[in-house]
Amino acid sequence: MKKAITLLTCFGMVISLVSLAGFPVFAAAPTASITGPSTVRAGDTITVKINMNGTGLSAVKGEMAYDSWQLTYNSNAGSLAGWAIDIDDATAGIVTFLGIDDKLAAPINSNKQLFTLTFTVKSSVATGANIRITAGKLSASDGENDLEPANAVYSVNAAAPLSVNVFLSAMTVSNATISPAFSKDTVSFTATVPFSTSRLEVSATAEDSKANVVISGQNLAVGANTVSVVVTAENGSKKTYSIKVTREQDPDYQAGSNANLKSITPSIGILSPVFDPAKTLYNVYLPFEITSFNATGEAADAKATGVESEAIELTVGENEFIITGIAEDGTKKDYKIIVTRMPAQGEEMPDPTPTTAPPTEGAVSGAGSEAGSGAGEGNGLPWWGTVLIALAAAVLGFVINQIINTSKNRNNDIHEGIVV
């Protein structure tokens, strides 16, 4: 009651202020309207707009009445710019409002939206039930006259709930036999077709006429394919039926026998020599701290079956690692990597185990027939001799570089002294 008195007092003050300000007086009868969605179902959230149409209006008040057994009031928004609008929902089934052009700068001179209200339709509302929201007890002021717009009503009958039926009533394939036989509760099927069948002819019917059916993936490649039948119910729910189809290979097709690898990538270390698809034997040297090794490869033929390899645990000395390319027709080609793990500091390297290199395409037989075959094989030196020579070369290069740099610095100093 106290709040109602306050609202009425504010309303009266606006009328007085507008009169004192000397605004022109218009007595044309204003009109109110309520608009909302044309289709409403139980469980929906709906928003209604409250508009007022008039000339020179600077204050409006009233109440929005609704059935609280049908609707739950949620919120309000969208207040008219330049107006102060107070909305009160303290009483179930009633939302009262008072709007004032408090700065007397934005009077209503046409059809304007005062605000919006949002409600939730309760799930208990039956199909066909009438839902009404009424703007009543309306009063408006143009600064001099108290005007009483007629009631405005938003009315809609609750529509039937949207169907949730996502089932097929039938699915047939005219050019193949699916397994198992169709059942609406089964979602996965299989079929095999000859090479001559390049498209699976599928037709499907939804159990609910309001549902939508989309079939995709009917064009078949050789090998495995998936044909999908997606049913979308009226409410947006989806169900997918799938047919796994194997299209057989062309009987005249000749599978490729290329088992070459295009590359080999060690998990650690550097491959020696540089990879060449025709070479099948390589070396990798690793410090004592590395205890395992693996390598991955890429097949040279895009139709190759794959590449096989398995990580190995390393012992000190030579370790044999095999990576295999598998051709489309099943042909295999092994690439061998001799992984040498160096001994711990102060320990000696065990004697190398003799290894036999696999045959290499295009290689010349005899000593030195394959670069990097074995650890120092073909040059008359044991493995440690090769390592010592490499280290000596690196040290010698470093010393020579230092001598050259020192000489350059001295020449520069002499040149600077002459210039000075």
- Higher-confidence residue of 413 and 5: namely 413
Note whether residue 414 is domain-resident.
Answer: no
**At residue 226, does pLDDT exceed 90?**
yes
SS3 219: strand
Do the bridges between strand 212-216 and strand 223-232 make them parallel or antiparallel, or are there none, so unpaired? antiparallel
Do 173 and 155 lie in one domain? The reply is no
What tens digit of pLDDT does each residue of 253-299 get? 999 999 999 999 999 999 999 999 999 999 999 999 999 999 999 99
Sign of CA dihedral 188, 190, 195, 196: negative
Could you say which of 223, 247, 271 is where a domain stops? 247
Domain of 134, in residue numbers = 2-159
- Considering the domain architecture, whether residues 300 and 234 belong to the same structural domain is answered as no
Number of domains in the chain: 3
Say yes or no: 9 and 107 in one domain: yes
CATH number reported for the structural domain that contains residue 25 in this entry: 2.60.40.680
If you count them, how many residues does the chain have? 420
Domain co-membership, 143 together with 180: no
User: What strands, in cross-sheet order, belong to the sheet with 188-193?
Assistant: 188-193, 238-247, 223-232, 212-216
How high is the pLDDT of residue 369?
35
Residues 241 and 336 in one domain: no
Could you tell me the sign of the dihedral formed by the alpha carbons of 79, 80, 84, 86, in that order? Answer: negative
Query: How many C-beta neighbours within 10 Å does residue 151 have?
Result: 14
Looking at per-residue pLDDT, the higher value among 219 and 5 belongs to 219
| 294 domain-assigned | yes
Structure token digits, residue 151: 């009631």
3-state secondary structure of 387: helix
Neighbours of 369 (CB within 10 A): 14
Q: How confident is the prediction for the chain on average, in pLDDT?
A: 84
Render pLDDT for 128-139 as a digit per residue (tens, 0 to 9).
Answer: 999 999 999 999
What is the percent of the chain with per-residue pLDDT over 90, rounded to a whole number? 73
52 and 147 housed in the same domain: yes
260 by DSSP, 3-state: which? coil
**Is residue 239 included in any domain, yes or no?**
yes
Residue 347 burial (CB < 10 Å; 0-12/13-18/19+)?
exposed
pLDDT of residue 348: 84
- Give me the DSSP letters along 269-311: S--BS---TT--EEEEEE-TT--EE-EEEEESSTT--EEEE--
Clarify whether residues 234 and 185 are in a common domain. yes
Backbone phi, then psi, for 120, in 5-degree steps?
Answer: -110, 130
Domain boundary (196, 223, 247) is at 247
Q: What is the pLDDT of residue 382?
A: 52
Domain boundary among 220, 247, 274: 247
Contacts of 345 (CB under 8 A, 6+ apart): 288
pLDDT digits (tens, 9 = 90+) for 347-378: 888 876 655 544 444 333 333 334 343 444 33
88 and 126 inside one domain: yes
User: Locate tokens 């997606």: which residue?
Assistant: 230
Residue 151 sits in the same domain as residue 24? yes
pTM over 0.75: no
Q: Give the model's pLDDT for residue 9.
A: 47
Residue 383 lies in a domain: no
Give 52-96 pLDDT, tens digit per residue: 999 999 999 999 999 999 999 999 999 999 999 999 999 999 999
Lowest mean pLDDT among 157-161, 217-221, 321-325, 409-413: 409-413
Rounded CA Rg of the chain: 44
Residue 420 in any domain: the answer is no
Residue 98 per-residue DSSP state? E
* Residue 204 and residue 281 share a domain: no
